[in-house]
Copies of this chain bind each other. A is one copy, B any other.
Amino acid sequence: MSTSFRVTPWEVEGLVNYDRLIKEFGTKPLTDELIEKTRELTKSDLPLFLRRRFFFSHRDYDLILRDYEEGRGFFLYTGRGPSGPMHIGHIIPFYMNRWFQEKFDVNLYIQITDDEKFIFKPDMKFRDAKMWAYDNILDIAAVGFDPSKTFIFQDSEYTKIYEMAVPISKKITFSTAKAVFGFNESSKIGMIFFPAIQAAPTFFERKRCLIPAAIDQDPYWRIQRDVAESLGYYKTAAIHGKFFPPLTGLSGKMSASMPETAIYLTDDPDTVRNKIWRFALTGGQATVKEQREKGGNPEKCVVFKWLEMFFEPDDEKLLQRYEDCKAGRILCGECKNYLIEKVQGFLKKHQRKRKIMEPVVKELKYTGKLAREMWDRSIPKELS
């Protein structure tokens, strides 16, 4: 296993050693006990994200479960930086959020950081970030959230967020922001301020906030946790996801700048077939004969990883496939075809839902119960 990898909110490089990330980020592993406790409290079968440790690390998730158990409740917060079309790796964490919302019956806030993407991407126009915000929100809405308990907002539009970011921004020194995010003399002042904007939604309610998101966003929450209590709020909790690997290998994240590494939510069935067929890295042997004799390496296979992480919810079938591969009973082409069908099926359903999302987006952003409350409210007294 490679020992050289790098994770910041802007880049994920190399083959990620998740155990080491837990140590480096100072988070805690998501234990069997916590997962079992989640099952008990929700009285539900666990989703594969938890069963298979797609979420593997956390901060204060134990306190979230305690707050829920003791009737204080909690709320969910997640987000998306709209820099381009969404791919499969982007949408998966939203399914985890949906599961949490459904099972715990809690509010969910989804921040679309068009300001961030515009400020951090040198060549991006503000209007393009806003256009992608619109586009991405259609995809997110298609996941299917409770419109009375979900609020999706774009920073450039829900500018009330600025009022709430101000008291947070009074608590964070340049030196802290620099240490956490690596800012320097040529960082733009908008970049330096942005951590306050991203932290603001954790103060939307007086309950504890749970953020299910990929672990690369954790530095933002570390800053929130430094200042929250001095503002009269809880430190936010987080549950950290792994990265959905690119088609081309198990290292790094899918990247919009390398379209062959990703399946986009807008890809048609032929494109899906071509991409998986041509680019997906498997753990197969060089020849059919060798594969039959030695068996494959599902641990090194992106096709198997995609099935494991999202596309094969049936544990028994997954295990069977693992053993068949190891034993040389199936060939890579068969697995690829299986994944192609699964992905095509998922996208067909997604694209059909996305088409009719416009009225739903209106509810989620403006007219739903939670959305209306958020547009009408003032900032909490504690922050004033």
Contacts and interface: CB of A to CB of B under 8 A. Distances in A.
Interface of A: 115, 118-119, 125-127, 130, 155-157, 159-163, 165-175, 177-178, 183-190, 192-193, 195-196, 381, 383-384
Contacts of A169: 119, 188-190, 193
Given A159-B160, A160-B159, A384-B126, A119 B186 contact: no
Given A166-B126, A384-B125, A384-B130, A173 B188 contact: yes
Contacts of A381: 127
Given A115-B166, A166-B119, A172 B189 contact: yes
A259 to B, nearest CB: 27
A171 B187 CA distance: 10
A115 B162 CA distance: 10
B159 A186 contact: no
15 contacts: A119-B169, A126-B167, A156-B163, A156-B166, A159-B159, A159-B162, A165-B190, A168-B190, A169-B190, A170-B190, A172-B189, A175-B185, A189-B192, A189-B195, A192-B193
B189 A196 contact: yes
A127 B163 contact: no
Nearest to A115: B166
Contacts of A190: 165-166, 168-170, 172, 193, 196
A194 to B, nearest CB: 9
Contacts of A184: 174
Given A159-B160, A384-B125, A173 B186 contact: yes
Contacts of A195: 189
A383 B127 CA distance: 9
Contact of A174 (B125, B159, B161, B187): B187
Contacts of A186: 173-175
Given A189-B193, A193-B193, 19 more contacts: A118-B166, A119-B169, A119-B170, A126-B167, A127-B381, A156-B166, A157-B163, A159-B162, A169-B188, A169-B190, A171-B188, A172-B188, A172-B189, A172-B190, A173-B188, A174-B188, A174-B189, A189-B192, A189-B196
A168 B384 CA distance: 26
Contacts of A167: 118, 126
A39 to B, nearest CB: 41
A127 B192 contact: no
A170 B118 contact: yes
A8 to B, nearest CB: 18
A190 B190 CA distance: 10
Contacts of A174: 174, 183-189, 192
A346 B205 CA distance: 48
A138 to B, nearest CB: 20
A162 to B, nearest CB: 4
